[in-house]
Structure 1
Amino acid sequence: MNERDFERAAELTERERQHALATHQRHQAQRRSATECEDCGQPIPKARQLAVVSPYCVECQSINEELNRHERR
């Protein structure tokens, strides 16, 4: 390989990286989480909204998961 081959490889790698980053950012922008819990109506903290796409607060999510766990048995 010569220097030009390395430059092309670096350019291709950078284009792929930029494409992957843009795709990730589009997906992140499309993620939406509720601002209020669907079950109890309490505000969902911003950190949870950003971390998890869910219509429930932590407490109601835990309750729903526990109920689902028992229903599957």
Structure 2
Amino acid sequence: INEDSYGVDDEEEFHELDMTGRVIANNYRIESKLGAGSFGQVYLCEHVRTHEQWAMKIESHAMNNNPQLSIE
């Protein structure tokens, strides 16, 4: 999911960002933040129609070209 820069300009702002309550791709409501690390943040999401729950990783822009992400 590419939501551009999520309205932040740098890595520090990205790691402080809380996306709880946002709806991504018109289908997934972010319920809560599960954790964060050097590659990005992980959120508990719920599909707005089926109510299935998923974990969603939102990657840091600084890590977009990191080859490790291609195997995660």
Q: Name the TM-score, length of structure 2 as normaliser.
A: 0.27
Considering fraction of residues, name the structure with more strand.
2
Considering fraction of residues, name the structure with more helix.
1
Q: Name the TM-score, length of structure 1 as normaliser.
A: 0.27
